[in-house]
Structure 1
Amino acid sequence: MRLLRTVAFTLLVLLGLGACSGSDDAGTADSSGGDDGAVEQAADADGAEGGGDGEESSREVVTTGSLTLVAADPSPAMDEVVRLVEGVGGRVEERTEQARTEGSEAYGWLTVRVPAAELTATVDAVEELGEVTDLSISSEDVTRRGRDLDARIAALQTSTERLLTLMAEAESNEALLAAEGALSQRQSELESLQSERAYLSEQVAMSSLHITVSADRPAQLEAGGFLGGLETGWNALVTFASGVLVVLGAVLPWLLVLGVPLALVAVVARRRRRATAKAAPAG
């Protein structure tokens, strides 16, 4: 009789696992449908009171943005951006700065997270720090994904509670071990889904903003007219002078090696001619 009850309990556990698997696949759609119905009922109730604003407020949207800020000095501008972000309850996730070098201007990057409701105000505040270019804001509606995760989490929670009940009623070690194995698997899946749901909710609540900060560049005159001719002439003069210096640098070693002895020979020859010229009248 005890063996019969053990076999029957094991069958109940297996049936429970089958029902749990079914609840993850088919039950997800039912739960999503139930969530949709609940949301629709809430929207209808809110619509009767406030014109249907409840449906819009229940939607989940992930918003991201990017912009380029041109400022006179990037480093203080980045400090000011950080102050603005922290002032609205946001945070800085990444900050990179590059100092000015001989061949490039100073620049930097910022990746910040701000409350979704404060994104527009933050962008407006950043625009007051300099010239904002290449502004881009994008949104992704993740309402369906969030509801699907909620439905799967609810199904797994129900499955976990059912397995806990079966474990409490187990009359043998075999049945208890089977229920514990199933419960461990369900709890692992539940924790994974809850972590994914928490990440999605955080993405909805906090928007990402990528900011590139660059320095002002001095205005450059276009070639043409008097200024263009002056620039061309100056460049030609610099090129000629550079060429002369190159030739002089190449010839100078030869002048030192050959010119000095030749100069000595010329001096000696001139003295001899003078001596010969003085001796001839005397004779």
Structure 2
Amino acid sequence: MGIKSGLKSINHFLAQYAFVILLVGGAGYYFLAQDKNFPSPRFLTESRQSTSFDGYAGNDVMEESMAYDMAASPVASRAKMTVSDMIRPPEVNAQGFDPEGLEDRKIIRNGSLQLEVEDTEESLAIIEAELFSQQAYITHQDSWEVRRGTLAYNLTIRVPAEKLDVLSENLEKIGLKKSESYSTQDITAQYRDTDNRITNLESRRDRLRELMERETETITDVLEIDRELANVQDELDRLNATQKSRDTDVSYSTLQLSLTPQPEIGDFSSPDWNLESTWKSAVNDFIYDARDVVDKLIRAFVYTPIWLPMLLILWGLKRWLFGSGKPKKEKKTKTEK
């Protein structure tokens, strides 16, 4: 009788609290089945600040690094080069500026312009003619379809710096100006610093060549001087390439031009919309969601040994504390009968 009574109680409980069981079980599955990503330990690593001759590293770091290199190299010490010679800044007066260089500033000017035009193809032809007249050229061009048969364009233009304003004014006449912006960057200090480093490196290279001609007694000395010369020449080539790139940026400004067509009333077509593609995408999403639901149900079933005993314990505590919850039937006395 005890087992039978217990089974009846469990059956009654499941019938009465099925929704609660599913709700609690789903919540339990949700918290138990979540993937736990623990952060991997971080290893502290020391990173040395890289030093270069292009003027972007600090002078203190540059001096320390070059002092170490010169101390480790007997060839450099024989060349009688000091750290101060290698990192000597441009000469300035007491006021802190170079009066001779006021007229020769290195300024990089760039801009961006967004236009809305009636016909992008016709406007593109006009722009190409205008670029030719201003000795400008297109370095990059992107296009995309905004509606069937109509393209929008993004152009990257290089124009002589002195003609940037004239070109911008002429392009604004082609369509409606939506936005524009211009930036100016003064790289005079970096440019002069790099020039000074190139001069010092050339002097070091010449002294190393003199050492190779006059003070090389062994093969080891020849190889060491040759290695130093190669390092100096590599650095010179890199700095000269940097200066050449800066000269180009100063001489030619970059203009980012965007051409978009004017909107048309009643045109709701979109080249990206496709009925077949939408249908297939919806079916695939449904299959994926259904598979995800099945996976979650399977996981919930696998976790049954965890959450089912907990539910049974809670149910037993409820019965022990509050009773079965059913009102007891009063026995009728013989008198009432």
TM-score range, shorter chain: 0.5 to 0.7
Matching of residue 15 in structure 1 with residue 61 in structure 2: no
Matched, 1:148 2:193: yes
Q: What CA distance in whole angstroms lies between the structure 1 residues aligned with 2:126 and 2:206?
A: 52
Give the superposition deviation at 1:86.
2.7
- The residue correspondences of 1:244-259 to structure 2 (distance < 5 A) are none
In structure 2, distance between residues paired with 1:110 and 1:64? 14
| 1:83 aligns to 2:129 (yes or no) | yes
Deviations 1:118-158 (A, max 9, x none): 00000011012111221101111111111111111111111
Give the secondary structure class of the aligned counterpart of 2:210.
helix
* C-alpha contact (below 8 Å) 1:105/1:214 kept by paired residues: no
Structure 2 match to 1:162: 207
1:67-106 matches, cutoff 5 A: 67-102=113-148, 106=151
CA distance change for structure 1 residues 149 and 203 in 2, over 3 Å: closer, same or farther? same
Amino acid at match of 2:200: A
Determine the C-alpha separation between the residues in 2 that align with 1:31 and 1:154.
11
Q: Per-residue displacement from partner, 1:225-258 (whole Å, max 9, x unpaired)?
A: xxxxxxxxxxxxxxxxxxxxxxxxxxxxxxxxxx
Q: 1:187 aligned to 219, 233, 250, which one?
A: 233
Between the aligned partners of 2:93 and 2:223, the Cα distance in structure 1 is 34
Which of the two has greater helix per residue? 1
Q: Report if aligned partners of 1:32, 1:148 keep a CA contact under 8 Å in 2.
A: yes
| Aligned residue type for 1:175 | D
Match of 1:211 among 254, 257, 262: 257
Alignment coverage as a number of residue pairs: 193
Q: Offset at 1:15?
A: 0.4
* Deviation, structure 1 residue 219: 6.3
Contact kept? 1:35, 1:151, Cα under 8 Å: no
- 2:178 corresponding residue in structure 1: 133
Deviations, residues 71-101 of structure 1 (Å, cap 9, x unaligned): 1111221222222223222221111223453
SS at match of 1:80: helix
Answer whether contact 1:75 1:97 (CA < 8 A) is retained: no
Q: Which residue of 2 aligns with 1:119?
A: 164
Displacement after TM superposition at 1:36 (Å): 11
1:32 corresponds to which residue? 90
* 1:99 to 1:35, Cα distance in 2 relative to 1, 3 A: farther
Are the structure 2 counterparts of residues 18 and 132 from structure 1 closer, same or farther at C-alpha, using a change threshold of 3 Å?
farther
Post-superposition Cα deviations, 1:41-100, rounded to whole Å, max 9, x if no partner, equal 536xxxxxxxxxxx1x31111111001111111122122222222322222111122345
Letter in 2 for 1:134: S
Alpha carbons of structure 1 residues 18 and 219: separation in structure 2 relative to 1, 3 Å: farther
1:84 aligned partner, one-letter code: E
Asked if the contact 1:94–1:111 (Cα under 8 Å) also holds between the matched residues in 2, the reply is yes
CA distance in 1, matches of 2:180, 2:127: 15
Name 2:37's counterpart in structure 1.
none
Distance 2:230 2:125 in 1: 49
Rounded to whole Å, the distance in 1 between the matches of 2:139 and 2:94 is 35
User: Is residue 2:110 matched to residue 1:59?
Assistant: no
Gaps of 5+ in 2: 1-72, 267-337
Deviation at 1:12, TM superposition (A): 5.9
Normalized against structure 1, the TM-score is what?
0.61
- Cα distance in 2 between the residues matched to 1:144 and 1:122: 29
Root-mean-square deviation (Å):
2.8
Residue 241 of structure 1: aligned partner:
none
Q: Which amino acid aligns with 1:124?
A: E
- What CA distance in whole angstroms lies between the structure 1 residues aligned with 2:174 and 2:202? 50
Q: Which letter maps to 1:160? A: R
Cα distance, 1:212–1:72 mapped onto 2, change above 3 Å: same
Counterparts in 2 of 1:189 and 1:35: CA distance versus 1, 3 Å: farther
Aligned-partner SS, 1:217: coil
Distance 1:219 1:198 in 2: 51
